[in-house]
Every structure is written in structure tokens, then in C-alpha cells.
Structure 1
Amino acid sequence: MINSKFKWQLDQPTDPQAADKLAKDANIDPFIAKMLAQRGVTTPEAAEEFMNPSVSAFHDPFLMHDMQKGIDRIQKAVENGEHITVYGDYDADGITSTTIMYETLSDLGADVDYYIPNRFSEGYGPNVQAFENIIKKGTTLIVTVDNGVAGNDAIDAANQLHCDVVVTDHHSLPEKLPDAYAIIHPRVKNENGDGYPFGDLCGAGVAFKIAQALMDEVPSDLLDIASIGTVADIVSLRDENRAIVKFGVQAIQNSQRPGLLALIKEAGIDLSKFSEDDIGFGIAPRLNSLGRIKDATVGVELLSTFDEDRASELAKFANSQNDLRKSLVDQFFTDAVQSVEDGGDLHGRRTLVVVGNNWHQGVLGIVASRLVDKYQRPTIVMTAADDSDEVKGSGRSVDQFDLFKAIDPIRDQTVGFGGHHSAVGLTIKKDKVPVLKDQLEKAAADQHLDLSVKPKLAISAVLPISKVTPDLCDKIKALAPFGQDNPKPIFKMQFDSLANVKTMGKTNDHLKFSLVQGNNQLTAIAFGKGSVAPELQNGQTTLEVAGEIGENTWNNRTTLQLMIDDLKQTLPPVVDQRTRELHQQMFAQSGVYVFFHEKILKQLQRYVGDQSQAVMYNQVQKDFTDGHRLYIVDCPDVVDDLVTLLANIRPQTTVLYLYKKQLISKIGMPDRNSYAKLFRFIKEHSNINIATQLKQISEHLHISARTIIFMVQVFLELDFITIKDRMINLNPDYADRDLKTAPSYHLRIEQLAAEKKLLVSNTHELVSFVKDCLGV
């Protein structure tokens, strides 16, 4: 049984009529209107702004806190020839923020350089020693990007050395803001209590707004870099961010940056079909890997250089660092899983703490995320070094557990600790690992962490695969760019069966199959689900599938496919296992085995186990089947017999074997000419021995032997003939009677109808019919 990772929930707009009204008022496609309504976009004006953002989407940068003050200080430094240092961060948002600020100041003629702190030796944000070194080299103005709002100590040190600091940041605000010359932040309120209209900018977005203020226009040449930071930092893709990414994706397609183009080439991205996904899965991981593995400083050079040879060299380096990062993650994840499984950490515990030896610190957060995905519980992954008594690590959490709040009570027992609800970083002494484990379990109890509660998966609609067309795909694309607060629509697919089930990848980690409905097929891919392949068989399945519709291009041919978000199997009410052969193994499962022909029951009864029952259809009682599996072994002669049986019982699952050795429909019902030919033959011949003469009669009349036997039975029931000692003769006293009044004739009609309904029909038709009979 394949269990779902999520709790599926059909996404319904608050106002059921909103989508229809929007489609009419805005004159847009009803499907798009429904998707917009699910996103809270319900007016024509909002729809136009969402679908077609314009330059007007960019707010006045001077509405942001301290923007004027910060701009004045930067301009003064430029005019006076002061040395400015842009102090960035080592992730993709930090690298792009630094690039934007550095290029903007360079274009203004500033004396400027940049500094990216080292993740491992200096950590995140303003560092006192780094600030002091920068100032000693002649810097009189430090402009932070993507950091600084919590850098009180380093900023105080800079002030004492008579160096001003302009903070540009977007991260959560601390209780006490630093004493910086200016704090440009979209969530800090101005003196009059007003705030910037949109508070969800990333670091690159804030840097972009400063560039807009300095240039007195929207800096279109920086949209490509700003969009990378915005997608990479997983901020809301609404309002201003939506415009940044929408225009940024277009800018990247036309980019002249040698470094960006070289990076796109290394990532194997088709620039003609570039989308925000290519940023999230191609560009951003390669930029992030620089800071995770070594030094992110080269990332700024990569994005800003105009030397094509240097750009190619740096792009190859970024790609190799990303490959190394993936290799390390795979290695440490495998080791971590083995540690968890061997150590019994899943028994009686709701949280996980895994400690490796000499694991690379830069990838511990990714390993923790993968463990959370696998085990669905808060996880901290740490590494120990042989020459240190400390362990360092990162933690990731689930929605219902505040990881920062969980660890905060033992903050005084840590060497270093920081983070938020879903992610933390910490350093502790080795002997404090048991304390950490106990505290997490205590917090799990205090926060009432319930591991059985699954995160929700919003289903946009239920779609038959016949509706998955290029036109539908184009409609979905109209809602892009997708990301935080504008997720790709997820559909639950309707289909009849699976085909071509197989695994993919070097270690068969991934699953691929086709969803089949009539003449329609749709390829589906499920990453990380290769292990469930043996549970899926071609043909009818109880599998339910939810995923995102997309395109796959291979050898210049583009096809539609489903990228699966979740799978689940449910015990089906009806299973089609129709067969022409019965064998002992088919009676191995416990349940109630129902027969319509006593002869077949007697032949097979010995195969039915002690925990099961074998009964005739007219002997089934309601309590026989309640909550049990019901097996319909053979095919009834009359459909109503099956209908009557199913109407009065409530099995958990009904399995349909519907065995019939030979189909009467292959013979059919004799026509009137056949009856007339046989009648004349009997009339003209006396003492016909049907046992010895059947073959000759069949050849003479050109009628099959089985049909002749059937017609003889009809004649006998109508008193047209007599049979004595196997000799057939015409009844001299026969009277004209309608053939349809013969019981065998009527039974043949019923049998043909039963075969058509139960044996000739396709799986969907049969299952639907039986479900209707069961009332499910």
C-alpha cells in the first residue's frame, strides 16, 4: 500500500461564484479565472495586474525607510571619492544583491569593491573582525546587502572607527535595530508610522530599489540579476516581486552577460524556453554551491565580468562545485539514513538528531531537509571533527513545530545558535548532544507535535487526462511566474489504468509510468519514488495521482508530462480481475467466494480456505460480507441475479473474477433461417441419433454443432419434437408456438445480455456498473 505524503484538499474559492463573475467581467478563459480566484484575484483590475504586470508595478523607492537618507550618503561618498565596500552574503540572494549594488555604484563612478564573508570562518552577517579589516584598508562607507539588520556589534565597531554603515536588508527585524547611518528595509516603518507598500522583497529586490533610487529610473539592465535573487530566496511572487521575475526572465533570455550565459550553458538550460524553474533548479543551486563548498566571492565576478574566457572558467567552476555539493549531499544522506535505521531513532521519538563525522558543514541543511522529507519529523544534522570537542549543524522542521522555539530554552548550553521557526544553525559541545535530543523531545510534547498530521496539498482541480492538452498547458503558463504565494496548480488526475511502469536514474530512485484513459496517455514522473514500482502493475490500479502539468523536450520533440507531487493507494470498492482460467492461488485470500453455478462451486470448494466461505449467490447473507472482501467467482447467466446480490450487501472490496469457460456471444443466437433448416431436416428424416449423427448434420446444414444442440433443446421445450432413446422425431401433433416462449431461448437472451454487460465491457464500464449496484 502506497501512503500519501500529504493530505489532499481541493482548493475552493471563498466565493463559489467569483470565478464565473471574473471570467465574464474580465472576458478571460473560465479555467484561468478559476485559477486566479483560487489565488484571491477576483476583479478585472487585479487580474490584469496579475497577468500583465507593467512598470507601474514598481513602487516609489523613496517610500522605503531611510531610503532618502541612505541615497544621500551614498551620493556624497561617490562625489567625494570615498572608498565604498559592499558587504554581501554567501548565498544566491547575497551574491546577486552584491552584484546589483556593485554594478550600480561602479556605473556612478564610485570607488567601490565588495566583500563576501566566508560561511565557515566568519558566518552570516556583519562580522566585527571583517569590518575592522575593511576599514583599515581605507573604506569610509560600508553598504550591506541581504544582511546587517541584526549586525549591532559590527556596526558599533564601525562607528567607533568613523566608518558609516548603510544597512540594506530584508530579514526579520530584531528587537533592537543597529545604530547604522541608515537602515533601508521594506518592513521598517517610517517616523510617521507608514511602511513600504510591499514588505516581501528579497535582498536583491532591496538592492534593485536602491539602484532605482540612485538612477532615478527602473534599472532594466539589472532585472536579470534581481530576478535570480528573488526566485532563489523563495520570497512571495506577488506584487513587485512578480514584476521583477516576469521582466527578469525575459531579460535573461536576451542577456548579454557572458557569465550568466556561460552558467546557463553549463546547466544545460534551453534559453529559448527559459522560465523561473530554470532559475530555481539550474542557476540558483550553482550560485549557492559556491558559498556552501568554498568561497562565494567568485559568484559576483561570474555575474559581472565581461571577459568571456573568465566567464567560461568561472561557470565551469560553479558547475563543478554544484556537482560536488550534490555528491556530498547524496553521500551524507545515505549515511544519515543508515544511522537512523540502525540506531532505532524512529521508535518512540518524534524528532531526529544525526551526528556524522567530518561531514562538510555547507551541505548539512540540505541533508536535514531531505531527512525531514523522508521521515516527516523535525531533524538536526550535525558534524563532529576529530580535533574538536564541538559539533556544528543545521536543523529543518515541519510546519507544526517551531524549531527555534524548541531549542531556545537551552541557548545558554550552546556555543552558537540562531534561526527561525523552520530552520536553525547551532554549535554545541559534543557532550551536549544528549541534552539537545532530550530538549527536542520535550518540546515535541509541549508543542503537541502529532506526526500523523500530514501537511496539506492544495488541489486546484480534478482533471481527466483527456483534458491535458497543449492549450491547457499554455493557459497554465499564463499564470507564471510561479513560486511562493503563487504555486503551480496541482491537479488530481482521472485515469483508468497504468502502463509502462519502470524506474529511472542510476540507482533506480525515480518512477516513470503512463496514465491511460481510453486512447489517451500521459507520461508521469515521480522523483524519489522508484521503490514503489513493484507495487504498481500495468492495467487497472487503485493508485491516485496528483501533480503539475508541464512539458518535456527531447530530441527537438516536446511532449506533455505530469510531474508528480504525491501518490496514494486506497482499498478500492471494486477490482476487475476477470479471467478465463481459475487456479488455486486465486482462493488464497480470506473472504466470501460467491458462485452462480453449483457445478463450479462443487469443483472449486476445496480450494477455499478455512478462514473463508464458499456459497451460492442465493445463500449470501448481509453479515457474511460486511467489512470483508467479496469474490464473484463465475459469471451469472442473468444480470439481475448479480444486481440483487450486490444490492443487499456491503463488502469492503468486491473482486470480480466472473469466470466463464466459453463465451456464448461467440456463437450468438441462431437466426430464423437456421431454425427453419433444422426443422425441415427433422421433418424429412426420422429416428435421428443426435449422439452419432451430430457432426454429419452440422456439415450438411452448415450450422455449428453447439448451435444445433441449442436449437434441439428449444424444439423439445416447445413440443416440436420428441426424443426417445436418443432418437429425434418430429412430433406429429406439434402446434405453432413462438420460439421466444421456450425457456432455453429466453435464457440465451439473458446470457448474451450478461456477457455484454459483464464480460465484453471495458474496466471502467464494469467497475462503474458494480459500484452503482453496491451504492458506493
Structure 2
Amino acid sequence: MTALCRADRLKIVRPSASARLLAERENCSLLAAAVIEARDDLTAEAPFACPSMSALIGELDLGRGASEAAERWKKMKNPGRVLVYGDYDVDGAASTALAMKICRGAARTVRFFIPHRHEQGYGLHKSVMEQLLPMGWDTLIVVDCGSKDYEILDEAAASGMNVFVFDHHQPEEGKPVHWSIVNPHCGGGDEESRSLCATGVLWAWAWKYGIVSERKIMEMADLAALATLADCMHLGDLNKEIVREGIASMKGRPGPGLAKLFYHLGLSARGISEESLTMRVIPCLNAAGRMDIADTAVDVLLGGRGSEEGAEALVVLNKKRQLLSGRISDEAMEILSGPFNHVALGEDWPVGVLSGVASRICSVNSSPVALAAPVKEGIRGTLRVPEGGDAIKVLDSISSLLDGWGGHQYAAGFSVSRSNWNDVHTHLEEALSSMELEEPEITAL
């Protein structure tokens, strides 16, 4: 399937005389100079200048809770027995691995738990925490989720645990935000910090507040880079630097697990690029949580024992995911060509691959789409909207019908009981079919 652009939204730009002068002055290609000029990125003397990583981190405002979390961290004599609770996509796996690496050497022991996509689903779960908390943990670190889970976090803190949450998901409007949360979207964060993924939030926090040395945190830039690209975060100055440093790290000295994954994919570490990461490496890391358990991806990112077998397993899982996604995509497109153009339920679809399929359909059709499938007694779905839409507003309007929901402006997930599905289906179809979208202008050279 190929995405099309309307002719009236296509802006054709030819390199100008000023672009030629810029190319000569900066010793860059005419193409690079024309792109800068077309994007209005041209500044007086140094269009290619970018602040240093230290300067970017120093100016960053991660929002309320960030400095307090750093103070609490530094007051601990040591984290003791640490439990890291994560999520099953690449950002969740990478932030889990990053939290564990930050704790190693200081903590007595570090373990992680990631809920099963099909069994538990996204986020903190009271039933799971009731099993985990009595195991004697001293510190709980929650990554890539938790912003909506005030009561669960409060119970964990009341039990005597040190609680830290690093997230980038939108909090629920009108609901209290727990004091343990570091999330730029929960108030006070600047524009740069709100463009960070969860791994980026934790990585930047650890650097800014001296939780670990700059040298050590730079060695972990590969994790932040992978998560940034996987979550398709806006590449502002800080994210560009994170990706650049992360790729440089992977080119020069990739972790043992990533090196094995590169090998099984036939990739040379020196040839690693944004394209090879997004098209080859990240889909394999994502396949763990979609087709099996995300633990395999975390093990590969940590590079410990079993990472070679894990890397090989990721490649196999991704091949299975590709075949399954192709079939589901065809079936979904057929359903969406009928009376309902935006919402589709597949009784035999595995939930793990729906987000990827929905993203593809949304991109190709430039139209919002919701795909859902049965999970145990209920139904779980994924919602994708094009630029200009707002998935959070759509789900917030029907939150009383949902068992749970969350996500970002353009991508969100939800769970609903069987008894409420028909109403949810109707409301979603109405909301998505009436969504007003302004197709973005595309500039071409």
C-alpha cells in the first residue's frame, strides 16, 4: 500500500541562489542547504550549529517532581532490593534496561517485571502489585507507565518503599498526579522535555541531576536513541543529539546483545543508521512484546547471559509478526471498506500486532482507525489518528464506557468489556468519521 498526497498540499521548492550561497559558505551539499532554507531553519550565521548535550540538558525543565525525585534518590543510602516495573514496547523495554543499569553497582539486587500484553495489558495493575509488593522490595521504579495510577503508587509508598516513576504519557485530566512521578506532561515541563519518550525522560533526569556520571550516562545513550526512534518522537535539538550520540555508541561499541542482534540481521555495526534501526532492529525488539514476552528484548538490551539466544529469537519472532500483520492488514482493510470505515473488530486477531497494523492503515489512508480484538473476558483495542487529530480527546469522551485507556495525541490504547463494546464501537465510529483533519503541507525539492 502506498500513501498518497493531494496535489494542493504539495509544495515544490527549487534551490534558490541564496541556497547555493549557503552551500558554498557552509561547505555542504546544495540539497542540505535547500532543505534548511525550505524549512525556515536558516539563522544568521550558523544554520548547522547545535547546542552541546550538556547545554541542552542544563536548560531542560522536566517538570515538577524531577528535582524532588533527585533529592529523594540521593538521600537513600542505597536503593536496596530494587524492582523495575516496565512496559512491553521498545520504550518500555529500553527504559527498564536503563533503570536497571543505573541501579547496578549501587543496589543490593535489581529485578524487573513487565506485564504480559495479552494477560495483563498496559500499565500498573493492582492485582499484580498485590503479588509483587510482599516480596520485600525496598525501591520501586516504574517506567513508561504509572501516570494515572495514583492509588497503586500511594499504596506502594505507604508500605515503606522508595517509589520513582518516569513516564511520558498524558495524565488523566482533572485527576491528581502522584508526587513520585517525573513526567513533563504532568505540569511544569518545557517543550523540549515534552518531546521525550520515557527512556529519554529517565536518561535526561539521571544526567541533569548527577544520578550517574556523564561518562556512564553517555554509554547508555543507545537505549535512549532506540526508544526515541521507536516511539517516533519529534526530533528537536535534544532528541537529535540523543539519537546522534546513541548511534555513535552503537557504531563504535554496541552492547553484547545488540551486537548479536546486528549479526543475526546481517548488519554491520559501523553501518548502523536511523533507517537500519527503524526498519530492521526496532521491529525485532518490538516483536518480543507483541508475539511473546518483552523480557527477551530487555535481556538483549542488557546484554547478559542468554542474549545471543535472545537475539536470534527476536529475529524469528519478527518474521512471524510480519506474516501475521500482513494477513490482519488485509482483513482489516476489507472490513473497513464496508459500512464501518474507521472501526474493526477481529475475533481471531492477536492483540499484539494491532498497533502496527493500525499505524500502517492510518498512514496509508490518512484517516483515523481503531482496531480491536478479544482478550479473555473483554476486548482490547488500539486507536491511531493522523496529524491534526487527537486520540486522547476521543477516548476521554467515552471514558465512562471503558475499563482502561491511555496513550498520546496520535496513538492510544483502550480496554472495554464485551457488554459495552457495541456502544464503544458506535461512539468511536461517529467520532472518527466526523474528525476534522487538515492534511499537512508537504515540501518537496
Name the TM tier (shorter chain).
0.7 to 0.9
Q: Using a 3 Å threshold, how does the CA distance of structure 1 residues 34 and 120 change in structure 2: closer, same or farther?
A: same
Contact 1:224–1:255 under 8 Å retained in 2? no
Structure 1 match to 2:357: 367
Aligned mate of 1:94, from 76, 92, 95: 92
Structure 1 match to 2:72: 73
Q: Deviations along 1:369-407, whole A, 9 cap, x unmatched?
A: 33334544322222247x74x333222223354444345
Q: Deviations along 1:695-717, whole A, 9 cap, x unmatched?
A: xxxxxxxxxxxxxxxxxxxxxxx
Contact 2:343–2:371 under 8 Å retained in 1? yes
Q: Using a 3 Å threshold, how does the CA distance of structure 1 residues 315 and 441 change in structure 2: closer, same or farther?
A: closer
Structure 2 match to 1:276: 274
Aligned equivalents of 2:72 and 2:266: distance in 1? Answer: 43
Q: Any gaps of 5 or more consecutive residues in structure 2? A: none
Contact 1:352–1:378 under 8 Å retained in 2? yes
Aligned equivalents of 1:167 and 1:3: distance in 2? Answer: 38
Structure 1 match to 2:255: 257
Q: SS of the residue aligned with 1:69?
A: helix
Aligned equivalents of 2:3 and 2:129: distance in 1? Answer: 52
Structure 2 match to 1:318: 314
Q: Deviations along 1:214-257, whole A, 9 cap, x unmatched?
A: 12424221122221111111112221111111121111012242
Q: Deviations along 1:11-68, whole A, 9 cap, x unmatched?
A: 669xx88746755765655442221233332126652324xx6444541288534344
Structure 1 match to 2:206: 211
Q: Using a 3 Å threshold, how does the CA distance of structure 1 residues 446 and 396 change in structure 2: closer, same or farther?
A: closer
Aligned equivalents of 1:211 and 1:144: distance in 2? Answer: 15
Aligned equivalents of 1:55 and 1:226: distance in 2? Answer: 13
Aligned equivalents of 1:339 and 1:188: distance in 2? Answer: 38
Aligned mate of 1:414, from 395, 402, 415: 402
Structure 2 match to 1:438: 426
Q: Deviations along 1:642-666, whole A, 9 cap, x unmatched?
A: xxxxxxxxxxxxxxxxxxxxxxxxx
- What is the total number of aligned residue pairs between the two structures? 437
Q: Deviations along 1:52-87, whole A, 9 cap, x unmatched?
A: x6444541288534344323333443x246222222
Q: CA deviation at 1:431?
A: 5.6
Contact 2:124–2:146 under 8 Å retained in 1? yes
Q: SS of the residue aligned with 1:99?
A: helix
From the two aligned structures, give the one with the greater strand fraction: 1
Q: CA deviation at 1:103?
A: 0.9
Structure 2 match to 1:327: 323
Q: SS of the residue aligned with 1:427?
A: strand
Contact 1:57–1:240 under 8 Å retained in 2? no
Q: Using a 3 Å threshold, how does the CA distance of structure 1 residues 359 and 144 change in structure 2: closer, same or farther?
A: same
Q: SS of the residue aligned with 2:386?
A: coil
Q: Using a 3 Å threshold, how does the CA distance of structure 1 residues 10 and 85 change in structure 2: closer, same or farther?
A: same
Q: CA deviation at 1:201?
A: 1.7
Structure 2 matches for 1:131-530, cutoff 5 A?
131-175=129-173, 176-180=175-179, 182-187=180-185, 195=190, 198-212=193-207, 213-218=210-215, 219-307=217-305, 310-341=306-337, 344-345=338-339, 351-384=341-374, 388=377, 390-430=378-418, 432-444=420-432, 446-448=434-436, 455-456=439-440, 458-461=442-445
Aligned equivalents of 1:156 and 1:432: distance in 2? Answer: 30
Q: SS of the residue aligned with 2:211?
A: helix
Structure 1 match to 2:10: 9
Aligned equivalents of 1:460 and 1:440: distance in 2? Answer: 35
Aligned equivalents of 1:330 and 1:445: distance in 2? Answer: 25
Contact 1:149–1:177 under 8 Å retained in 2? no
Amino acid at match of 1:383: A
Give me the identity figure in percent. Answer: 26
Q: CA deviation at 1:132?
A: 3.2
Aligned equivalents of 1:187 and 1:329: distance in 2? Answer: 32
Aligned equivalents of 2:150 and 2:316: distance in 1? Answer: 37
Contact 1:99–1:300 under 8 Å retained in 2? yes
Aligned equivalents of 1:187 and 1:417: distance in 2? Answer: 17
Structure 1 match to 2:42: 42
Aligned equivalents of 1:247 and 1:444: distance in 2? Answer: 39
Q: Using a 3 Å threshold, how does the CA distance of structure 1 residues 3 and 322 change in structure 2: closer, same or farther?
A: closer
Q: Using a 3 Å threshold, how does the CA distance of structure 1 residues 39 and 142 change in structure 2: closer, same or farther?
A: farther
Structure 2 match to 1:540: none
Contact 2:116–2:293 under 8 Å retained in 1? yes
Aligned equivalents of 2:114 and 2:3: distance in 1? Answer: 45
Q: CA deviation at 1:357?
A: 1.8
Q: Using a 3 Å threshold, how does the CA distance of structure 1 residues 3 and 38 change in structure 2: closer, same or farther?
A: closer
Q: Using a 3 Å threshold, how does the CA distance of structure 1 residues 159 and 227 change in structure 2: closer, same or farther?
A: same
Contact 2:60–2:193 under 8 Å retained in 1? no
Q: Using a 3 Å threshold, how does the CA distance of structure 1 residues 410 and 22 change in structure 2: closer, same or farther?
A: same
Q: CA deviation at 1:102?
A: 0.7
Q: Using a 3 Å threshold, how does the CA distance of structure 1 residues 370 and 233 change in structure 2: closer, same or farther?
A: closer
Task: Report the TM-score, using the length of structure 1 for normalisation.
Answer: 0.51
Structure 2 match to 1:120: 118
Q: SS of the residue aligned with 1:214?
A: coil
Q: Using a 3 Å threshold, how does the CA distance of structure 1 residues 74 and 45 change in structure 2: closer, same or farther?
A: farther
Q: Using a 3 Å threshold, how does the CA distance of structure 1 residues 331 and 104 change in structure 2: closer, same or farther?
A: same
Q: Using a 3 Å threshold, how does the CA distance of structure 1 residues 358 and 12 change in structure 2: closer, same or farther?
A: same
Contact 1:88–1:147 under 8 Å retained in 2? yes
Amino acid at match of 1:331: R
Higher relative contact order (CA 8 A, sep 6+): 2
Q: Deviations along 1:560-590, whole A, 9 cap, x unmatched?
A: xxxxxxxxxxxxxxxxxxxxxxxxxxxxxxx
Q: Using a 3 Å threshold, how does the CA distance of structure 1 residues 358 and 209 change in structure 2: closer, same or farther?
A: same
Contact 1:22–1:43 under 8 Å retained in 2? no
Aligned equivalents of 1:267 and 1:178: distance in 2? Answer: 42
Contact 1:186–1:199 under 8 Å retained in 2? yes
Amino acid at match of 1:396: R
Contact 2:3–2:365 under 8 Å retained in 1? no
From the two aligned structures, give the one with the greater helix fraction: 2
Aligned equivalents of 1:131 and 1:46: distance in 2? Answer: 52
Task: Mark the structure with the bigger radius of gyration.
Answer: 1
Contact 2:368–2:385 under 8 Å retained in 1? yes
Q: Comparing 367-376 with 276-285, which one deviates more in the overlay?
A: 367-376
Q: Comparing 30-39 with 368-377, which one deviates more in the overlay?
A: 368-377
Q: Using a 3 Å threshold, how does the CA distance of structure 1 residues 321 and 177 change in structure 2: closer, same or farther?
A: farther
Output the aligned Cα RMSD: 3.2
Contact 2:150–2:178 under 8 Å retained in 1? yes
Aligned equivalents of 1:132 and 1:413: distance in 2? Answer: 26
Aligned equivalents of 1:48 and 1:365: distance in 2? Answer: 36
Which aligned runs of 4 or more in structure 1 are off by greater than 6 angstroms? none
Amino acid at match of 2:241: A
Structure 2 matches for 1:574-723, cutoff 5 A?
none
Q: CA deviation at 1:429?
A: 4.4
Aligned equivalents of 1:188 and 1:12: distance in 2? Answer: 40
Q: Deviations along 1:244-302, whole A, 9 cap, x unmatched?
A: 11121111012242210111122222333210111111111111111112211222221
Aligned equivalents of 1:95 and 1:277: distance in 2? Answer: 20
